[in-house]
Each structure stands twice: as structure tokens, then as C-alpha cells.
Amino acid sequence: MKGRTLNHFLAVLILVGAGVTSSKAQLLTIDISNPSAVVFTGTGQFASANFTGASTTFPVRLLGFFSADPGQDTINNSSSTLFTSGSSAALNYALTGRFIPGQTTLVLRNEFGSGHSFSTSSAGFTGSATFDLSSYSSLLPAVGTVGNISASDGTSTVVVGTFEVVPVPEPSTIALLAFAGVAFVAWRRTAGRKAA
């Protein structure tokens, strides 16, 4: 009986593992809890596809980010530390509907429109950027939304990974987790003394 249960467990583990390896890499997490300070953070995961782009105006696109066409706007963040793996310039501009009327895409680019690349052997994004999207608060994605990130050089476009809008734990949740950690350490110490 134990052998059969173990075989079932291993079969499920293999299926779950196969599903994880075939999915696109989650390259960005997005915290929308404060629309005037929406935070885009690189996860450090490797891109799902290789891409090298020349200098372009629209390097990184978050497809279907908005729930409706937000119209055209440019939002600047001069203190951004969000980089693609192949760029020396931070993504410090967020563009809405720019030259793509009717689209729900959010475009991230750097000030100089310099080249960028993604690799299956290096982090897709590093660092973070914060943009004021309060003008579009009714169009922001819901927590749990997952969408594709594409890279483009104006002639070709490749999906390199995904973004996810993540919930931010409330302070009470963080305090509860901290308490649970302290309780676990205390329990381990007590169990260690009893064993000795």
C-alpha cells in the first residue's frame, strides 16, 4: 500500500514539475495597492525566450495591462532602477496608448530608447520602478492578473515572459507570520532540549 501511495505521489509531482517548466517565466511583479505609486519589480527569473533589439521607442510591452484604452500619456520616473538584462539604461518611462490607439498595453522604455535584450540564461529584469498611474486607477488590473510581456524592436515582437499583479500583505498578516516564525524557533529549541 505504501509503495502505491508513493508512486501516486511521484506521478503527481512529475506532472506538476512538467507544468512549471513549460510555462512562461514570471519576470515582473506589480503592486497596485497605491495607484499614485504603482511598483514594478523584477523577479530575477530568466526570460522564456531570447531577444535582442536595436534602439527602439517601444522596447517592453505589458500586453492587456489596462482594462480599457487609457489614451495617450507619458509618465516619467527619473529614479527608476528597473533594467532589462541587456540594457545599461533604466526603464524610466511608462507610456499609455502611445501610437497604439485602442490598445490596453502599457509600454516601458528608457529615456534614450537604447537597445535591450532578453536571454534564457540571465534575469529578465532587475531592480524596480514606481510610476504614478492614479489617472488610470479605474483601468488598473485586478490583483491576480497575469499577462504577457513582449519585447519589440519595431520589426519583430517576442513574448519573453509574464507579469503578475500581486497582493501586498497587510501589516497584521506580516506580524502574524513573524509571530509564527518566533513560535517555531521556540518550539525547535524546546524540542532540542528534551531530546538531549
Which pLDDT does position 21 carry in this prediction? 37
Which pLDDT does position 81 carry in this prediction? 92
Q: Is the Cα dihedral 163, 168, 174, 177 positive or negative? A: negative
Write down the mean pLDDT value for the chain.
78
Grid cell locating 46: 530568466
Q: How far apart are CA 170 and CA 39, in angstroms?
A: 16
> Do residues 47 and 85 make contact, with C-beta atoms less than 8 angstroms apart?
yes
Q: Is the confidence at residue 22, as pLDDT, over 50?
A: no
Mean pLDDT of 183-191: 69
Pairing verdict, β 51-53 and 116-118: antiparallel
Which pLDDT does position 155 carry in this prediction? 79
Under the banding of pLDDT at 50, 70 and 90, the label for residue 43 is very high
Q: Which of 49-53, 67-71, 90-94, 158-162 has the highest mean pLDDT?
A: 158-162
| List of residues 6+ apart from 178 with CB closer than 8 A | none
Q: Is the confidence at residue 140, as pLDDT, over 50?
A: yes
Q: How far apart are CA 171 and CA 147, in angstroms?
A: 28
Q: Is the confidence at residue 13, as pLDDT, over 90?
A: no
Which pLDDT does position 129 carry in this prediction? 94
pTM above 0.75, yes or no: no
pLDDT tens-digit series, residues 90-99: 888 888 876 5
> Do residues 136 and 82 make contact, with C-beta atoms less than 8 angstroms apart?
no
Which pLDDT does position 196 carry in this prediction? 63
